[in-house]
Structure 1
């Protein structure tokens, strides 16, 4: 009887390749919905605060608040995922983001800035969860296809992320009919989208990718112990260096991207552009953040993590330079600059995520990934809060140039890690 138990247990394990196909389909569906949810804060958050407080200097505060909220959520989602799997962790994060959306709407109706700031902090949970989902796509992927798996999840955000900002005008009209301030209209869409994303995961993300990956890993360990000649030793020093590099790549790209992105709608508004025009530019930016993901994933798997990480720094420099040089009345050039900004961020996120996933063992993977995303969120919060202050003290072109120059710090970090290898 005891001899048949291992065989029965092994037979009950789903095939990882087949499970990965199903998991990616479910994650794609949830990302389409959550992409629409996260776009609301990016598009009208700064304008809502500027309208409520009557000052530009605090226009970066919404971005700082929901990225700070995403830092707390990244830890929580990471810990829940570590203990119970990806499904409950991601679903809890999206539902929290929906609560934040309802809070923003309530604050707008009551014209209550304090409630608005609290609600934006809670709303950040959706942003963190949307990013954490990329790790779920890589849990069961083979090392040579991890970047492409991450990219498949990321690109799904494009549909909702591009459509969301361009619904600003009709959503505002709908909100006014419901007695809600025009700028808060997108948060109605956001709340509904986050709830639906959570529902998709709860119902269909089965088997849980992280739990299955652990089961498969334990099975392989059992075979390895029976055949120790096939075991390989890990270089912990090199692994530590890679974790630091992966985190640094994503932290810097997030800082630069959030800072420039946050103040672009305000910059356009100050030059007489409509909310629709700002929504179009942000929609193009969000599309560039996610749409190139399949190509980026292929490039990372084909040419290596380090080369694409370096390319992200160069692309962000080009974005900052163009944003600084573009005339304030040119929607076309600002859209191109924001497209490059999104592309540079995409290069950094996909390559950095692949570096982290390659390096961190399954036993601590979700927890470590959550901590890395905390650092990314803190960087985003820093970029958001300082961007408004800097533009108020200097100008939008100065902010864009500073961000572009800062991104070049990636190059020596990548070179140093490559030399150690």
Structure 2
């Protein structure tokens, strides 16, 4: 593809800006709702409103990407986030708390667009480099996530200079950044047709028949068709299927072991990460640990999520995404077992557990997203991406809501025990996908025996 480097650079810069936009607003969202209502329980719903907004936006943005292109879809998501920030500012200044939650939901569209950008990166990648391109775009989120909260004070000062409440100011900064992101991708970014990878037209590398998980390009060498692909008839003609919706694509994917493994890798990894992460500050402060230490632990967690993503992407391209997902499962299990067994106030094991939790999430998201791309046909790839991201965010919202109840009943060990149970379907799907791959390769080799 021409201008591949330029397209990747635009995606990276835009992801950095979007990371600042999301983080600078979300950093103060709960505080803003608490200040407006005086009800701590409602303050906790601020994050949930944004996550639900991201879930609701995922599928419409995927449909728009198919119809009009990724650049239009990304620009629309960031524009919605900009509008959400404006609504939050207006509602907070006038005291209309309900509209603040509506604005936070629209604000979540920026996060949904940021997630879609990881798939856009794979569409400009050279064959065999999809995971590395994806990881670079995700890595840029690290800088934005760190810089966003640090700029909250600047946003507050800017808002105060305009006569706005201090906690509203950061959303003025977020809205400005999202507006810039929207203009940047709409004006400069041009990508291939959404869902089409350069490797779709590239021949699959010769695989070792004894290796059940070939590295490099993920297309199977056993003659099996990716989920959703229609085989040619006797005359060699292929009838193109009618466009499918997001949930129809998901139903097709779950019937194919590799595609189901990919979907569950994304959904389960995210659900585990959110469920444990959101309760960690509550657990730490309840046992007398300082807010400074809470900040250090969350910083280690974010570093685990994004800091190592280029390494994770390189591994996915080199050893295969299925193996990276399996590595992620092992890391997540290690993190949750530490959370179950460690003393409640251990200042060394808590950051270790949260760092591993972030690293396991990175393996699950990058490995799962790469495998998803290669386990289904291009005709259902983008709708499936939208359905998977929507499911991921809905599961995360439920996990965040229920983890507080679990913490109250079973403590932090109980939260981590539930996280282990969430990983069980993923492990089963991985074993099933591995068996199916071996069986298909055995069948393909049988005529030559």
CA gap 1:314/1:211 in 2 versus in 1, 3 angstroms: closer
Which residue of the partner structure matches residue 323 of structure 2? 307
Q: Deviations over 1:372-416 (max 9, x none)?
A: 211112112212222344445554453244224433542222122
CA contact (8 A) 2:142 2:302 kept: yes
CA distance in 2, matches of 1:326, 1:34: 38
Larger helix share, 1 or 2 = 1
Work out whether residues 24 and 148 of structure 2, in 8 Å CA contact, stay in contact via their aligned partners in 1: yes
SS at match of 2:125: coil
* Structure 2 counterpart of 1:126, from 99, 110, 118: 110
Q: Counterparts of 1:142-161 in structure 2 under 5 Å?
A: 142-161=126-145
2:301 to 285, 299, 315: 285
Question: Does 2:381 match 1:362?
Answer: no
TM-score using structure 1 length: 0.81
> Structure 1 residue 198: deviation in Å?
1.5
1:235 aligns with: 225
**Residues in 1 aligned to 2:304 and 2:61: alpha-carbon distance in whole angstroms:** 26
1:348 maps to what in 2? 364
Partner in structure 2 of residue 319 of structure 1: 335
On the 8 A contact 1:46/1:266 being kept in 2, the answer is no
- 1:254 equivalenced with 2:238 (yes/no): no
Change (3 A) 1:279 1:34: farther
Aligned-CA RMSD value: 3.3
Task: Quote the offset at 1:341 in angstroms.
Answer: 2.0
Matched, 1:115 2:131: no
Q: Please, which of 134, 147, 162 is the counterpart of residue 163 of structure 1?
A: 147
Given the alignment, which residue of 388, 400, 406 partners 1:384? 400
Cα shift at 1:20: 2.1
What's 1:65 paired with? Answer: 49
For 2:20, which of 11, 31, 36 is the aligned residue? 36
Residue 128 of structure 2 aligns to a residue whose secondary structure is: helix
Alpha-carbon spacing, 1:218–1:353, altered in 2? closer, same or farther (3 Å): closer
Structure 1 portions without partners, runs of 5+: 1-15, 221-230
Structure 1, residues 206-264: CA drift from partner, whole Å, max 9, x if none? Answer: 3x2336958997999xxxxxxxxxx9964256972222111111011111122223334
Equivalent in 418, 426, 431 of residue 402 of structure 1:
418
Q: In structure 2, list runs of 5 or more residues that go unmatched.
A: 204-220, 229-252, 438-449
Structure 1 residue 63 displacement after superposition: 2.8
The whole-number CA distance in structure 2 between the counterparts of 1:53 and 1:360 is 47
> Do the aligned partners of residues 50 and 261 (structure 1) sit closer, same or farther apart at CA in structure 2, a change above 3 Å counting?
farther
Partner of 1:11: none
Q: Are positions 1:76 and 2:66 aligned together?
A: no
Q: 1:112 to 1:403 in 2, by over 3 A?
A: farther
Aligned to 1:228: none
Higher relative contact order structure (alpha carbons within 8 Å, sequence separation ≥ 6): 1
Aligned to 2:232: none
CA separation of 1:52/1:326 partners in 2, compared to 1, >3 Å: closer, same or farther?
farther
| SS of match in other structure, 1:164 | helix
In structure 2, relative to structure 1, the CA distance for the partners of 1:211 and 1:368 (3 Å cut) is closer
Alignment pair present for 1:136 and 2:152: no
Q: In structure 2, what is the Cα distance between the partners aligned to 1:148 and 1:215?
A: 14
TM-score scaled to structure 2, two decimals? 0.77
Alignment length, in residue pairs? 392
Aligned equivalents of 1:197 and 1:100: distance in 2? 14
Sort the Cα spacing of 1:400 and 1:55 in 2 relative to 1 into closer, same or farther, 3 A.
farther
Match of 2:192 in 1: 209
Deviation at 1:281, TM superposition (A): 4.2
In structure 2, relative to structure 1, the CA distance for the partners of 1:399 and 1:51 (3 Å cut) is: farther
| Structure-2 change in CA distance of 1:113 and 1:337 (3 Å) | farther
d(CA) in 2 for partners of 1:218, 1:197: 31
